[in-house]
Amino acid sequence: MTYSRIAGTGRYLPEKILTNFDLEKMVETSDEWIRTRTGVERRHIAAEDQSASDLSVEAAKVAMDDAGVSPEDIDMVIIGTTTPDLVFPNIATIVQHRLGIPACPAFSLETACSGFIYALSTADKFIKADGAKCVLVVGVECLTRLIDWSDRNTCVLFGDGAGAVIVKPSDEPGILSTHLGADGQYKDLLYYPSGPSRDLDKAGTKEVGIMMTGNEVFKVAVKTLGNVATKALEDAGIEQSELDWLVPHQANIRIIQATAKRLDLPMEKVIVTVQDHGNTSAASVPMALDVGVRDGRIKRGQLVLMEAFGGGFTWGSVLMRF
């Protein structure tokens, strides 16, 4: 049986850093208020001349180097994002060309914060079906382009960045299971009210910013993330105590803590980067994974559960033996 496994990881963060103290000068807020309610201390902001493809290319280079693969080795590119460079062509084709990857399938997925999980799940299926041998998967966002900086409830949350992985076939179990879900009835709790066919000219203005009903999002997110994590473990016949690491979407420290509690998992087994990155949507899980790998916490052979929850609502999990 053919399995898929992550052969390399990488991440890229823009140079500009916006701290909570910087935000105190922009809106009526405070470092203490932001930290206690969200866990965020700082976030990275893409430069004016940087786009999502720029961030993706840099993260991909690191992942490719880590996996020891060249552009010629890659035969599929999948990118999860809500903030592509252009409406079309899709961002994966732009990244493919810039990296010098030969002609191959290249496409993007838009499932908000669950984008990377959806993309990785798709790569897993292609490899297991012998439809690809080496897949570049990226989660990337330039969410700060969508922010209304006068809205203190949302502008403190988000940041920019990119995370990437290389996925290859393996004779040994790597990705054990993936679970995806969505429920559009919750659309009005978290959304961005403009797009290519609706009020696109208002994007990034005070008229149009990220719309979120925080308390309601929290309730559904915690319940859903707990359920999808439990299902992933049950379907694999794995006890919660066997899990080495949880790598959750870095939306809010309270959601992360509540999810860990539902799993009866100590925070010492949770990779947390929200303090340094903020909520980077589709980029948050792959960047957190890379942080855990690079600092030596996540080791080969360990059992890792990644999960995410985003606007839509969409959600998903990937259980793997790293």
97 in catalytic set: no
- The 10 Å CB-count burial string (b at 16+, else e) for 147-167 is bbeeeebbbbbbbbbbbbbbb
Closest CA to 277 of 268, 289, 287, 267: 287
Q: List the catalytic residue out of 113, 134, 142, 155.
A: 113
Q: Is 20 a catalytic residue?
A: no
112, 152 Cβ separation under 8 angstroms: no
DSSP state of 316: E
- Asked if residue 229 lies in contact with residue 249, where contact means CB atoms within 8 angstroms, the answer is no
- How far is the CA of 216 from the CAs of 87, 221, 232, 313, in angstroms? 31, 8, 24, 12
H/E element, 245: strand 245-248
Residue type, 84: P
* Residue matched to tokens 């899980």: 285
| Best CA proximity match to 311, nearest among 205, 183, 121, 202 | 183
Q: Which of 44, 90, 179, 249 is catalytic?
A: 249
- Spatial CA neighbour of 74 closest among 138, 117, 153: 138
Instruction: State yes or no: is 279 an active-site residue.
Output: yes
Backbone region of residue 228 per phi and psi (left: phi > 0; alpha: psi in -120 to 50; beta: other values) = alpha
Catalytic residue among 20, 90, 252, 279: 279
Residue 11 near residue 291, CB atoms below 8 Å? yes
**Active-site annotation, residues:** 113, 249, 279
